[in-house]
Structures are given as C-alpha cells and as structure tokens.
C-alpha cells in the first residue's frame, strides 16, 4: 500500500473525536501527527503523571496510547466508525521508557469485514529503539 | 495454596502505595477489597470518565486495572518491591462492560526468581460473567 | 454453568474428528478425557519427540494442545463446527515441563455469535502447578 | 542495525541444530533461507499434513514456525544458546493461509540480558499480505 494513500478520515477529525469521545485518554493529550490509509503516528506529550516508581513511564500510558492508535488505524481505512471496539491487546514492554513524550506508530495488518488487526510500536521521543510493541485487534460494528 | 494465606503486604499498604506511586491509575481510585498471598481483588468505583462511545467502559480502564492487580499479586508474595515492572500484558475483551464499577480478581500463577505470572478476570460489578481476561507478567528487580 | 452440563458433541466424536481432521496434531495422539458444555480436558501421552534441548517438552507441543483444547470448547457448546478457526492464541510458559504426559484443561469464557473465548491451563501429568497458560479465541463460521 | 550484519551463528548451523534438537518441528522440514544479526527468514515447504478442515494450514504449523524463528533470532545475536526457552508467544491469525509453503520473517526487537523479544510475520509463499503475526519472547539461560 502506498505510504501516503488518502485516509478515510483526517488527522484533525480523528484527534478531535478521540479527545472528545474517550475521556480516559484525555490525560494523554494525544497529538495525531500523521494519519494515512493504514498508518498512524500519535504523540503523547510528557506529563509528570505518566511516571511510576523508578521514574519511567507507566504501562497504562503505553497501553492507552496503543489502543487509540489502533482506533485511528481502523478509522483511517473505514471512516469514523465510533462503535468499533477492542477485542484483543497484547503488549510486550521492551525497555524502560524515559521521562519523555511517547510516540506511537501503528500499521494496519488486515482490515477484515469483522476484525481489524494492527501492529503498534511505541518510542520514547528522540530514541531510536522502541520501548514497547503491541498487537491490537478491533471488532467492526455489525451491519444491521 | 490456602485461600487466606498471609500476604507479604496488607491491602491498605498496597492501596496507599499504588494510589501514591502510579499517578495514571489515580483516576481509577482503586479500592483493594482483598489481598492474600497469591490472590487480589480490586474495585474501581464507576466514574463517567470511564466511558467511551457506545456507553461502555473503555479498554484503557480495564488494562490499567489489570496491570495494578498484577502489581498487587507480586507484592502479596514478595512484599513491597516497587521496582517490579510489567513485561507482558495480554487482554481479551469478552463483553461490553456496562456503565458500572469494575472489579478485578487476580490469581498468581507463578512467582519465579525473575518473572511473576498472573491471571486476572475483570467484571462489571454485580454481573457474574467476566468482561475481560488478562494474562500479565512482571519482571522482578535484579538482585544487586 | 453446571459442571456436568450436556455438551453438543461427545468426547469420542470430538477425539475422532480432531485426530482425523488436523494431521499436525496427530503426533499428540490426544485423548479427550472429559468434554462437557464449556469444559474440556485433553491428555497427550508422553512421546520422546516432545522434547527439546534441556529435556523439557517443547513449546509447539503445548501450543498445539492448547489450540485443539479450544477447538473442543467451541464444539462442546456449538456442536461439530469444523470450520471454526483460531484468531488469537497467547501463551505464557510458566515452568519447564518435565518429560511426561501433558494434560490441558480448558474453560469457555464466552461463546459469542462471532467469537468464542477460552482459557486453557496445561500441566505435566501428576504435577499440581501448571506449566503454561493460554488465552485462545476462535472465529465462528459466518452464517450463509 | 545494518541489514547484513554478521550473525553469531550461520544459517546452516542453526538449521542443523533446530532439525536435530527439536523433534516436533522436524515435520516442518525448516529451510533457513536467511540468518543475519537480528533478522531470520525460514521456509517450511508445503506438506499435505499441514492442512486442517477448510483446506488451510493449521494454527500449530504457524505457531511452531514462529517459535523456531525466534529461536533463530536469539542465536543470530547470542550464538548457539540451546537452553534459551520461550516465555511468551502471542499470535494473531490474520488470513486463512493457502495450501502452500509457509515463510516466516523475524526481527529482533530487543536482546536483553534476561529476555529477548522478537516480532515474526508469516506468509503463504508468493502472497504479499501476511497470514499471521507473532510476538515472541525468550528467556536467556541464567549465568552460573
């Protein structure tokens, strides 16, 4: 798929929707840096409340960011289907993330009629090696 | 293991620690209802901010609650090892959770020298069937 | 759900089907010890070919056994729907399994219209603590 | 990491080891097509025994291939550490794989002192879209 294929929603529309519709993730103040058909990059600016003992970003921050990144991947292909829901999220925590902004890059692996699969890598801003990897699946709303 | 084996921390001590130490999970206002050696039950009282489109509790709420439940399981056996960190979290979202409090029940599957494994079931308060199941692994801090 | 609810297939019918239909798992020579509505126990008698370096049972043996255990759970509720397929399998390897028979116990967590979710614990025969835990999801065949 | 960095074992040595040491995977007759530092490609030539009802390649074939691909990734960096063992394997089954050879491509995400993390994509030979994605973690043998 071409890297810059036109997405079914704009980055701005998706960012407004996710900030408005999913209150729990408002704490991330997500900035949708790029949203193309099948590719999404979202940045969560650093907040001291991200931290856990040891001074690293806590797991729930990374998981929430991975989840909304997959939400964006679904919408990039299918449009603003708000009622798509997560069915599975698997995260491997690779390295302790620094006290910094977190950047998530998601790629759509498959958009089926019932299930959408994606892969998300998460980074501490400015560091090349990922801090976490997530495999996320959404169920598409039933027709009818 | 006997159901009421003495834990290495008290419920009250763990609740204070997790509320203090992991700011992201403060929004859950977790109430540690039971904490025994290898078994933990935590309740997150309902907050309208838990909801996502469709009026169900959002995935990040469930994942954050599962993560701190495993944190409690680790401490129930090993004491207050704040520097234990999540290495893996896998969640299956079974049913759409109602707009209600969420209750997590975790069981320790193995406490190894390096890794601790647990299983967490999450419920909408007052409903018998679970809304999500999580397998969570923590890495124990290195000696020295 | 009552422990001995009548299943939609018999243990013998499921055992014959899985041995016939899934050649890869024939090496396990699976013995379906119990199959009730929502509960399945399957035993794989020890074979020296199960072993890997270190003298423990290899991961692929455990994963294949978990997969067919979930296949049995689906059929225990829905009958002989051969075309149900795995969508997700997550396994945590808890302990090194001895050179012994492997026993899997599966519980159905949810049987939806589209997806079926189960939890499988695997044991070295005769040992109380599980050697692995799996969360497995199957997609039900589309109507029509 | 440069694409062709020298690996700590050769493809031929790893192929001989895995065929010899892991009997369960002999049925895959794995051909190690490429093995570099942090990258491995393995091909399993088609065998009618791979199939399950519906005429697609069965899940256990894909999981076994993902597992040995991660074994190769570990050895590509650390040398022939036979006693490294799987701790976690998560697989998402994206599409029904055709009755064809299966090709796995693995990338090392992190090689830690205790844990090694990798990402594996599996393909039906000759088809561009992956049929499955796996996240696999190995524990390194303890020093001493």
pTM given for the model: 0.95
CB contact under 8 A, C90 and B94: no
The residue whose two tokens read 């031929």 is D12
CB contact under 8 A, C109 and B117: no
CB contact under 8 A, A87 and C139: no
How many angstroms away from the CA of D88 is the closest CA of chain B? 8
Whether the CB-CB separation of A99 and B23 falls below 8 Å is answered with no
B29 SS3 class:
coil
CB contact under 8 A, D139 and B87: no
How many angstroms away from the CA of C48 is the closest CA of chain D? 9
Confidence (pLDDT) at C25 = 83
How many angstroms away from the CA of D90 is the closest CA of chain B? 8
CB contact under 8 A, D115 and B139: yes
CB contact under 8 A, A139 and C115: yes
Mean pLDDT over the full length of chain C = 93
Mutate to test the interface with A, among B18, B24, B25, B50 (most CBs of A within 10 A): B24
Contacts of residue C137 in chain A, CB cutoff 8 Å? 87-88
Confidence (pLDDT) at D111 = 97
Q: Exposed, middle or buried by CB within 10 Å (0-12, 13-18, 19+), for C91?
A: buried
CB contact under 8 A, B88 and D137: yes
Listed residue (C121, C119, C113) closest to C139, CA to CA = C113
**A137 touching D, CB under 8 A?**
yes
CB contact under 8 A, C139 and A88: no
**C8 touching B, CB under 8 A?**
no
Which residue did the predictor score with more confidence, D5 or C75?
C75
Confidence (pLDDT) at A144 = 44
Confidence (pLDDT) at D3 = 52
**Strand extents, DSSP E, chain C:** 31-36, 39-44, 51-52, 56-57, 85-93, 102-111, 115-124, 132-139
Confidence (pLDDT) at C26 = 81
CB contact under 8 A, D25 and C58: yes
pLDDT in tens, C31-63: 999 999 999 999 999 999 999 988 999 999 999
The residue whose two tokens read 């294929």 is A5
Q: What is the DSSP string of chain A?
A: --TTPPPSS-HHHHHHHHHHH-GGGGGG--EEEEEETTEEEEEE---GGGEETTTEE-HHHHHHHHHHHHHHHHHHHH---TT-EEEEEEEEE-SPPPSS-EEEEEEEEEE-SSEEEEEEEEEETT-SS-SEEEEEEEEPPPP-
Contacts of residue C109 in chain B, CB cutoff 8 Å? 92, 94, 130, 133
How many angstroms away from the CA of C25 is the closest CA of chain B? 25
Segments of chain D scoring below 50 in pLDDT:
1-2, 144
**pLDDT tens for the 144 residues of chain A, in order:** 445 688 999 999 999 999 988 887 888 999 999 999 999 999 999 999 999 988 999 999 999 999 999 999 999 999 999 899 999 999 999 999 999 999 999 999 999 999 999 999 999 999 999 999 999 999 999 864
**B55 touching A, CB under 8 A?**
no
pLDDT grade for B86, boundaries at 50, 70 and 90? very high
User: In this prediction, what percent of chain C has a pLDDT beyond 90?
Assistant: 85
Contacts of residue D87 in chain B, CB cutoff 8 Å? 115, 137
How many angstroms away from the CA of A93 is the closest CA of chain B? 5
**B120 touching A, CB under 8 A?**
no
CB contact under 8 A, D110 and A129: yes
CB contact under 8 A, C90 and A90: yes
Q: Across chain D, how many H-helices and E-strands are there?
A: 2, 8
Contacts of residue D137 in chain B, CB cutoff 8 Å? 87-88
In this model, does residue B1 exceed pLDDT 60? no
pLDDT in tens, B105-117: 999 999 999 999 9
In this model, does residue B144 exceed pLDDT 60? no
Mutate to test the interface with C, among A89, A114, A133 (most CBs of C within 10 A): A114
Contacts of residue C117 in chain B, CB cutoff 8 Å? 92, 94, 133
In this model, does residue C115 exceed pLDDT 80? yes
**C85 touching A, CB under 8 A?**
no
Confidence (pLDDT) at B137 = 98
Confidence (pLDDT) at B97 = 97
Contacts of residue A109 in chain D, CB cutoff 8 Å? 92, 94, 130, 133
D86: phi then psi, degrees, rounded to nearest 5: -65, 135
**C81 touching A, CB under 8 A?**
no
Q: What is the DSSP string of B74-116?
A: HHHHH---TT-EEEEEEEEE-SPPPSS-EEEEEEEEEE-SSEE
CB contact under 8 A, A114 and C139: yes
Q: Across chain C, how many H-helices and E-strands are there?
A: 2, 8
Give the whole-angstrom CA distance, residue D59 versus residue B86. 28
In this model, does residue C65 exceed pLDDT 80? yes
Mutate to test the interface with D, among B86, B112, B115, B119 (most CBs of D within 10 A): B115
Q: Exposed, middle or buried by CB within 10 Å (0-12, 13-18, 19+), for D2?
A: exposed
How many angstroms away from the CA of C96 is the closest CA of chain A? 21
In this model, does residue C144 exceed pLDDT 60? no
Residue in D94, D110, D135 closest to A109 by CB: D94
């Amino acid at each position: 798929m071409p890297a810059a294929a036109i997405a079914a929603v704009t980055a701005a529309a998706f960012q407004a929707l996710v900030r408005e519709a999913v209150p729990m993730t408002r704490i991330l103040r997500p900035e949708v840096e790029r949203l193309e058909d099948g590719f999404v990059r979202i940045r969560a600016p650093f907040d001291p409340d991200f931290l856990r003992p040891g001074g690293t970003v806590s797991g729930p921050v990374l998981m929430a960011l991975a989840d909304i990144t997959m939400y964006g991947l679904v919408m990039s292909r299918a449009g603003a289907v708000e009622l798509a829901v997560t069915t599975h999220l698997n995260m491997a925590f690779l390295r302790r993330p620094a006290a910094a902004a977190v950047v998530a890059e998601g790629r759509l692996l498959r958009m089926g009629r019932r299930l959408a699969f994606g892969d998300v890598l998460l980074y501490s801003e400015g560091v090349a090696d990922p801090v976490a990897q997530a495999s996320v699946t959404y169920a598409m709303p039933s027709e009818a």
